[in-house]
Structure 1
Amino acid sequence: MSEREDDPGRAEVRPARPDDLPRVVELIAEHAAYEKAATPAPGLADRLAGLLFGPEPSRLRCLVAALPDGTLAGYATCAPELSTWDGAEYLHMDCLYLTEASRGHGLGPLLIAALRTEARALGLPELQWQTPEWNDRAIAFYDRLGATSRRKRRYTLPAGA
């Protein structure tokens, strides 16, 4: 890892821009492979462009971790969601991913801090997310942040015809 990557104080977390989308899609594919999930379907960059930068405002937000040389080392996505039990909205972090070489150098806390700032800017009281039960490194990171967890399983079901 270069000295620049080792200095997260010089890294920047910012909203993704349209010209970031090819790299964000690469990072999403890396993330999917890391989690042993299916490769994203073709056309993801176009779908994300519509959600993030289209004429209709979207709830989806994407933040990127940019190294001093401009290289994108990771991303986080989030959107406001509703908790029926609390009768309140919260910010749901859908994804947080850093390249293997960028982990453990302070970029994760920068992304989380930016997400918390986003939640406050939206007037939302908290940030929630999920991580695979086998991802011990992520779990240890979230525990160090002081986050609490609840055991649940996440299900998906196609809407179908």
Structure 2
Amino acid sequence: MEEIIIRKIRMNEVPDLISMCEAHADFEQATYINNDQEEILKECLFQLNPPLYCVVALREQSIMGYATYMKQFSTWDAEYYMYLDCLYLVEEARGLGYGRKIMEFIKSEALRLGCRQMQWQTPEFNDQAVRFYKGMGAVNKSKERFFWEFNAY
């Protein structure tokens, strides 16, 4: 088996990230609209104290998946936690250890940044992801996620 490499994204890979985001939205049966995300993502990912982090999973020189995450604060727990915003792997990379390596990478980043917990969500219909996360020892909580969109721009 080829070596799985997990590392932080590089600026020249942001267009590939956008393509992956579009594929991820399609996989989750959601709409994806490209509104100049490239410049916004570059600005957010590559500043001194970024509000968003991104890692990519590589096989040889090809990006096989990505994950984005951010440090957030919980009022209830009065402590920081890492929020996993997205984790996506191309179909041929699923079940081969990429997801576990990504999760372990983000866990080490979370601990480095003073977070003792990671939180995320996945659609109920994504049985493979649910099995994967539970197999890593994660537990789920049933909640509804709401979206309230504003046309402030």
For this structure pair, what is the TM-score category when the shorter chain's length is used for normalisation?
over 0.9
Map of 2:12 onto structure 1: 19
Map of 2:82 onto structure 1: 91
In the alignment, structure 1 segments of 5+ residues that lack a partner are 1-5
Is the aligned partner of 1:61 residue 2:80?
A: no
Match of 1:151 among 138, 142, 149: 142
Distance in 1, matches of 2:29 and 2:10, equals 28
Map of 2:92 onto structure 1: 101
The residue type equivalent to 2:128 in the other structure is R
Distance in 2, matches of 1:19 and 1:66, equals 15
Q: Secondary structure at the match of 1:152?
A: coil
Alignment of structure 1 residues 124-143 onto 2, 5 Å: 124-143=115-134
Q: Secondary structure at the match of 2:125?
A: coil
In the alignment, structure 2 segments of 5+ residues that lack a partner are none
Residue 84 of structure 1: how far off its partner (Å): 1.3
- TM-score between the two structures when normalised by the length of structure 2: 0.94
Residue 70 of structure 1: how far off its partner (Å): 1.0
- TM-score between the two structures when normalised by the length of structure 1: 0.90
Contact 1:32 1:40 (C-alpha < 8 Å) held by counterparts: no
Q: Secondary structure at the match of 1:104?
A: coil
Map of 1:79 onto structure 2: 70
Residue 42 of structure 1: how far off its partner (Å): 2.9
Distance in 2, matches of 1:126 and 1:100, equals 28
Identity fraction in percent: 35
**Cα-Cα RMSD:** 1.2
Distance in 2, matches of 1:118 and 1:126, equals 11
Residue 160 of structure 1: how far off its partner (Å): 4.1
